[in-house]
Amino acid sequence: MPSRCHFAQPVRDFLTYLRVEAGLASATLDAYGRDLRDLVDELKAKRIAGPQRVTPAHLIEHVRALHRRRSLQPSSIARHLATIRVFFRFLKANGAIEEDPTRLLETPTRWKRLPGVLSPQQMRKLLNAPAPELGRLWLRDRAMLELMYAAGLRASEVGVLAIRDYNPTLGVLVVTGKGGKQRIVPVGKPAQDVVQIYLDELRPALTRFGDDRDRGRLLLSHTGRPLERVAVWQIVRRAAGRAGLRNVHPHMLRHSFATHLLAGGADLRVVQELLGHSDISTTQIYTHVDRSRLREVVRKHHPRP
């Protein structure tokens, strides 16, 4: 196929193949044709001469444009991707191109929403938000926030922490996660110091009722009962509001814990163990978060982003 044919002839050949040899229905052919017109129009606007000039970067940008400018759902984008993949595989099989540029494209079924992450500066503001002028429970709130960030705790893991789960001598927590799976997580000195003050000065007062309503839990409500999940959310949101932060939720502390560790050079397998993930692919999303932050820095500060 001569290089001067650009896109028109390859597209016609491909649609003819689908109609004659693959026997696709007219409605399906129309959908393939629309998808390819969208792609070709964008490539022509970028002065891409023909299929042999198309790179993976061009296709990745096209998919991003479908999502960004047209707000297409993943299912619609998946169809576009299927069309593009089959088109370029057809061209490669027929010798029109040497490399298949679709090899780096991911399907929308593998896309994951990147978790919100606080910067280290924002995290310091959040941790410092509970203060004595807010009443005696400020110590519990500060201890809770410190532990969540220091150990990457889920909201569901906070309330079930028992006093016996915390070993101040070793500086570790035994955390019971999903499915009753336990993990041991080291706790840094800032969190240890606050937790110790809470245990010495406040928790005894919260257990003044003399019964077993505390059930041996580490963090208690003002009535001496274990913290429920809704209370964890309320404490986080209250602290975030005081720190001037918006849209902060408990899981964001866990996200920040993981992202800050990786940004500091921690091994991915170590972070997987600390988070209690059974599958490394679940932990890998945090590497994407860190890379996205690097891209933001480059775009903002590099003279030629």
pLDDT of the residue at 5:
42
Residue in 62, 142, 154, 260 annotated catalytic: 154
Predicted confidence band of residue 1 (pLDDT cuts 50, 70, 90) = very low
**Is-catalytic flag, 251?**
yes
**Is-catalytic flag, 154?**
yes
pLDDT of the residue at 230:
92
Residue in 70, 178, 181, 288 annotated catalytic: 178
**Is-catalytic flag, 277?**
yes
Mean pLDDT of 140-160: 96
What are the residues whose beta carbons fall under 8 Å from the beta carbon of 287, sequence distance 6 or more? 262, 268
Partners of 226 in beta bridges: 220
Residue 2 has pLDDT above 50, yes or no: no
Give the highest mean pLDDT range of 26-30, 63-67, 261-265, 271-275: 271-275
**Is-catalytic flag, 254?**
yes
Mean pLDDT of 143-157: 96
Residue 114 has pLDDT above 60, yes or no: no
Alpha-helical segments (H) within the chain: 8-20, 26-45, 56-68, 74-93, 120-128, 138-151, 155-158, 189-201, 203-206, 229-243, 250-263, 268-275, 280-301
Q: Which domains does the chain have, with CATH numbers?
A: 3-110 (1.10.150.130), 120-301 (1.10.443.10)
pLDDT of the residue at 173:
95
- Residue 56's CB is within 10 A of a number of other CB atoms, namely 14
pLDDT of the residue at 74:
67
Global pTM value: 0.62
**Is-catalytic flag, 181?**
no
Q: How many whole angstroms separate alpha carbon 249 and alpha carbon 234?
A: 9
Residue in 62, 217, 254, 260 annotated catalytic: 254
pLDDT of the residue at 3:
39
Question: What SS3 state is found at 29?
Answer: helix
Residue in 62, 203, 251, 255 annotated catalytic: 251
**Is-catalytic flag, 217?**
no
Q: How many whole angstroms separate alpha carbon 163 and alpha carbon 196?
A: 11
Residue 6 has pLDDT above 90, yes or no: no
Q: How many whole angstroms separate alpha carbon 65 and alpha carbon 55?
A: 16
